[in-house]
Structure 1
Amino acid sequence: MKRVVLLSASPRKNGNSDILCHAFIRGAEEAGHTCELITLYEKKIGFCRACYACFKTGRCVLNDDMAEILEKVQDSDVLVIATPTYFLTMNGMLKTTIDRFLPKWQELGGHDVYLIITGHDSRSGLKLAGDELRAIFENLGNQIKGIIWGENVWQKGEVLNTKAMDEAYHAGLGI
């Protein structure tokens, strides 16, 4: 049994990225794994101030929800990163969260990582976000196990009944 942590950067409750996370969770739980969905819009996450105090202490000086998020990410076996695309890349909520990985960046490797990327574009328009996230998480020492592309979706719920739903479910089931 593996511990799965999903970070959803959807700013909309039950938006397309969240919906795909729930499909992934359904598959993973059916396979016997435990899952925790962290919806970033519900968290208080400040911007990195580049003070680098964390290099000395291993903790960020900002008093927000990132310490808890980092602990859960560290303790997981499988990490799922879900984001809508904004102007061809991950949204600011996810980028801010990743920037705040700095205090523990050397301890965030060894995970199997799945990416869920949604947006109104076809895959060619979502590709930059996938490439960037792949580079970031591989640089941290993780292995990208799969990318689920929620293509051509804009309005909340448009991802329902698409092949991405099946892909997310089967990715979770196949952990």
Structure 2
Amino acid sequence: MNWVILDGTEELKTSEKLVTNYITETMKKSGMSYVYYDLKNMNILACRSCGICGFKSPGRCVYNDDMPDIIRAIAKSRGIIFLTPIRFGGYSSNLKKAVDKLALMGLPLYIVKEGNLLHPMRYGYFSLVGIGISNGSIEKQDEAFKMLVERNALNMQAPHCGVLTLNMSEEINDIENKVMGMIEEVSSW
């Protein structure tokens, strides 16, 4: 398996479903293997920041949900793709809960890397791609989304990070070209 897709779209809009379908179909045509998680249909509890996963049960949340399946898939992958509508410069609530729980993948130790205090990753390092679906109505939300994905990549010490924002008011051909370009770039890592 090469990639794990964490789909945080809410399917309230047909355009989000079109983007999801296009990404998965393009990856299939490119011969890329992936595991797809539709987060809205999964039981992912919010992180309570209790700290138990760091010390009493390292790498395991004491609250039972579907995250262990996702973490096992990520541990076998080469990278993660976050797919989400951009909400005030951030992730959808479904993706945010999953991203917060990715802390389970870090060791309870710290290292200093390029002036940043980080947790070493328990299962190795993975590339990260963030694909945000924007309606373009909030000024600078795309910039905030890009910074958020890049900071998450820094925390996970991802060797490669790519960020793509799609504005659904664009022509479908432009969106397809952007997605294809990102997937080709990702494939070359």
Same fold (TM over 0.5): yes
Match of 1:111 in 2: 126
- Number of equivalences: 169
Structure 1 pair 62/127, CA: closer, same or farther in 2 (3 Å)? same
Distance 1:128 1:40, change over 3 A: same
Rounded Cα–Cα distance in structure 2 between residues aligned with 1:131 and 1:40 = 22
Contact 2:89 2:140 in 1 (8 A): no
CA distance in 2, matches of 1:120, 1:14: 11
2: CA distance, partners of 1:159 / 1:95: 26
Answer yes or no: is the 8 Å Cα contact 2:150–2:161 preserved in 1: no
CA contact (8 A) 1:8 1:83 kept: yes
Q: Does the C-alpha gap of structure 1 residues 15 and 94 become closer, same or farther in structure 2, counting only changes over 3 Å?
A: farther
Residue deviations 1:118-159 (CA, integer Å, cap 9, x gap): 1211784311012111111222111344222111x3xxxx67
Alpha carbons of 1:14 and 1:87: their partners in 2 closer, same or farther (altered >3 Å)?
Answer: closer
Q: Indicate whether 1:11 and 2:7 are aligned.
A: no
- Residues 1:140 and 2:141 aligned together: no
Alignment of 1:1-175 (within 5 A): 3-12=2-11, 15-56=14-55, 57=57, 58-105=59-106, 106-107=121-122, 110-121=125-136, 124-151=140-167, 153=168, 161-174=172-185, 175=187
User: Unaligned 5+ residue runs, structure 2?
Assistant: 107-120
RMSD: 2.4
Deviation at 1:95, TM superposition (A): 1.5
CA gap 1:46/1:114 in 2 versus in 1, 3 angstroms: same
Q: What TM-score comes out, normalization by structure 2 length? A: 0.77
Task: Pick the structure with greater CA Rg.
Answer: 2
Which is bigger in relative contact order (C-alpha 8 A, separation at least 6)?
1
Q: Matches of 2:16 and 2:100 in 1, distance apart?
A: 20
The answer to whether the Cα contact below 8 Å between 1:109 and 1:141 also exists between their aligned partners in 2 is: no
Question: Can you list the C-alpha shifts for 1:62-121, whole angstroms capped at 9, x where unaligned?
Answer: 111011111112211121111111223222222111111122132365222221011211
SS at match of 1:37: strand
What secondary structure does 1:110 align onto?
A: coil
Distance in 1 (alpha carbons) for counterparts of 2:159 and 2:17: 22
